[in-house]
């Protein structure tokens, strides 16, 4: 294969390389530890009951028995669960394909977590117009601890992150395709009118037809919200951003009524969102509707005249169920060792310990061996990305930098809505939903340092050297922390060497 062929296939080779790296870190020894890790006690067991009962049944007895294959604790009583269905249905898919054991619980999340790294790489390539920066973004996602841990455990937040990034990537593709279409039709309009290439144009701009990529993004965001409700914040932020992109494209092309053009073309997308998101969300509850044993399935029949009586009984019951879920989420204030304040999330101040057990001495050859899993992002990535976020927001305010807004908006959509709920029992691992956008913001900053504006695409020797050193340090730190992300037995003293801050212990 010659260099010209490699160049033509550079994007594919980059995506494959990122996918292989991410897959290796997520799929290797996926069945370890052979135990329920943190909230797998809810989601793995709930997914198994979906495969057996068609709904989530309540569990009795020892939580640890499930990991040994003992499922006798499953009852036919419907369990009060407080999250939508999609994530648990995907976990159930893995159990159906590979059996009721740790690999089966985790494999679908690991595969989607690997694909997430590829999606970020492809998205970065489009945003920064560079395969190199796409590769950097993909690798940083592939080796980040928060994303690795949530891909290797049967929790919902990794699925949420995947669908959010999928929706964002689809919108970026839609942006590029729509701009190309607008540019071509605008040039045709000028040619027919005999106008110069830079002549201003009267009107709102040409139609772009059905935006299939944007419709697909709406479906992806609907699946995100059907995994965890906070997917709706990402949907709202990014769909509004897509309208901003459309407006700016029309302005750059010279149409004087560019705000009107973008607004009018946004109306079909808004209507599609209002219709598709609720329909898809309700459809994902199909198993709840079709099984009599589901929690509160018959509430409306048992409470005639209550609730929203004009709805069919099944929907009235579902609404009542969701009211209970909302009350649970807003009122959850029980103390937990690893609860954290969202104001400290960006710097990973209080990461969540998912698993910590003593291992046999022979496992690591020391006097005391431990197996630990900490949902802790690569410290260098998160600390530097926090600084990059501040820079990006300054660029947005001071220079109206649309690229800075694009990369940082995902962080704000995933983080800011949690700030009013600092009183709640919440955890730092929720940051996995916006971790890919922390990476994109960091890569945006690295690119500005290595390729400053005044060089018009050229590379600064000092900037490139500095960025290279930072990337090398990040890779070394990831190698150092990998045992704490995958649960490899290590000497207790080695574990202690990773506790850089007192709040990490």
Q: What is the DSSP string of 422-489?
A: TTS---GGGGGGTHHHHHHHHHHHHHHHHS-GGGTT---HHHHHHHHHHHHHHHHHHHHHHHHHHT--
CA distance 449 to 131: 17
236 inside domain: yes
Identify the H or E element spanning 407. helix 402-415
Residues β-bridged to residue 78? 57
489 inside domain: no
248 inside domain: yes
Same domain, 217 and 306: no
Average pLDDT, the chain: 94
Number of domains observed in the structure of the chain: 2
Judge whether 288 and 318 are in contact, CB under 8 Å.
yes
Same domain, 217 and 323: no
Same domain, 222 and 304: no
Which segments within 132-277 are labelled E, that is strand?
none
CA distance 100 to 48: 7
Same domain, 220 and 318: no
CA nearest to 25, candidates 121, 144, 126 = 144
408 inside domain: no
Q: Tell me which of 268, 295, 322 is where a domain ends.
A: 295
pLDDT score at 322 = 95
What parts of the chain have a pLDDT lower than 50? none
CA distance 110 to 79: 26
Same domain, 172 and 238: yes
Same domain, 318 and 224: no
Any idea what DSSP says for residue 71?
A: -
Residues 6+ apart with CB under 8 A from 440: 120, 123, 124, 127, 137, 407, 410
Same domain, 176 and 216: yes
Question: Which backbone phi and psi does 58 adopt, to 5 degrees?
Answer: -75, 155
133 inside domain: no
What does the pLDDT look like over 374-419, one tens digit per residue?
Answer: 999 999 999 999 999 999 999 999 999 999 999 999 999 999 999 9
Same domain, 164 and 287: yes
Domain that holds residue 305: 296-331
The pTM assigned to this predicted structure is 0.96
CA distance 39 to 90: 16
Judge whether 370 and 488 are in contact, CB under 8 Å.
no
Same domain, 310 and 231: no
CA distances to 45, 288, 305, 310, 328 from 295, in Å: 16, 8, 20, 21, 15
Same domain, 229 and 275: yes
Same domain, 287 and 165: yes
Peptide bond into 33 cis (omega under 30): yes
419 inside domain: no
- CB count within 10 Å of CB 212 equals 11
User: Residue ranges of the alpha helices (H) in 284-401?
Assistant: 286-290, 299-302, 313-331, 379-399
259 inside domain: yes
pLDDT score at 197 = 85
pLDDT score at 212 = 96
Vertex 179, ends 123 and 453: CA angle to 5°?
A: 65
Judge whether 258 and 247 are in contact, CB under 8 Å.
yes
Same domain, 327 and 265: no
350 inside domain: no
Judge whether 205 and 186 are in contact, CB under 8 Å.
yes
pLDDT score at 109 = 98
């Amino acid at each position: 294969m010659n260099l010209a062929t490699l160049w033509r296939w550079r994007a594919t080779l980059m995506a494959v390389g990122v996918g292989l790296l991410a897959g290796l870190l997520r799929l290797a020894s996926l069945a370890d530890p052979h135990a329920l890790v943190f909230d797998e006690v809810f989601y793995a067991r709930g997914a198994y009951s979906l495969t057996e009962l068609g709904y989530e049944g309540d569990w009795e007895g020892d939580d640890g028995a499930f990991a040994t294959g003992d499922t006798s604790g499953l009852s036919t009583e419907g369990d009060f669960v407080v999250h939508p269905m999609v994530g648990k249905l995907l976990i159930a898919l893995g159990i159906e394909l590979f059996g009721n054991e740790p690999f089966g619980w985790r494999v679908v999340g690991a595969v989607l977590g690997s694909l997430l790294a590829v999606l970020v790489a492809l998205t970065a390539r489009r945003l920064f117009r560079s395969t190199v920066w796409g590769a950097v973004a993909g690798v940083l996602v592939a080796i980040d601890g928060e994303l690795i841990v949530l891909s290797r455990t049967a929790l919902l937040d990794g699925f949420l992150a995947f669908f959010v990034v999928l929706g964002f990537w689809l919108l970026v593709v839609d942006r590029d395709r729509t701009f190309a279409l607008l540019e071509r039709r605008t040039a045709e309009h000028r040619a027919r009118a005999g106008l110069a290439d830079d002549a201003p144009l009267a009107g709102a701009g040409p139609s772009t037809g059905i935006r299939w990529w944007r419709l697909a993004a709406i479906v992806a965001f609907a699946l995100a919200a059907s995994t965890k409700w906070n997917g709706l914040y990402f949907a709202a932020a990014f769909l509004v951003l897509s309208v901003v992109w459309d407006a700016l494209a029309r302005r750059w092309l010279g149409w004087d009524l560019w705000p009107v053009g973008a607004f009018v073309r946004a109306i079909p997308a808004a209507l599609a969102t209002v219709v598709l998101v609720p329909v898809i969300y309700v459809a994902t509850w199909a198993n709840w509707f079709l099984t009599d044993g589901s929690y509160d399935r018959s509430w409306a029949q048992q409470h005639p005249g209550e609730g929203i009586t004009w709805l069919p009984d099944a929907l009235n019951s579902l609404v009542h169920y969701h009211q209970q879920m909302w009350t649970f989420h807003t009122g959850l204030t029980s103390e937990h060792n690893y609860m954290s304040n969202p104001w400290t999330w960006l710097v990973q101040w209080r990461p969540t310990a998912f698993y910590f057990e003593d291992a046999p001495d022979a496992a690591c050859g020391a006097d005391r061996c431990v197996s630990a899993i900490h949902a802790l992002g690569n410290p260098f990535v998160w600390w530097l990305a926090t600084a990059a976020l501040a820079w990006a927001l300054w660029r947005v305010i001071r220079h109206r930098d649309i690229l800075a807004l694009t990369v940082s908006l995902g962080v704000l959509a995933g983080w800011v809505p949690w700030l009013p709920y600092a009183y709640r029992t919440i955890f730092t691992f929720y940051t996995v939903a916006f971790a890919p956008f922390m990476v994109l913001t960091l890569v945006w900053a690295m690119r500005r340092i290595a390729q400053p504006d005044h060089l018009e695409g050229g590379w600064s020797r000092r900037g490139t050297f500095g960025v290279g050193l930072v990337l090398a340090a990040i890779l070394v730190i990831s190698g150092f922390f990998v045992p704490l992300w995958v649960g490899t037995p290590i000497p207790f003293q080695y574990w202690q060497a990773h506790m850089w801050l007192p709040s990490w212990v």
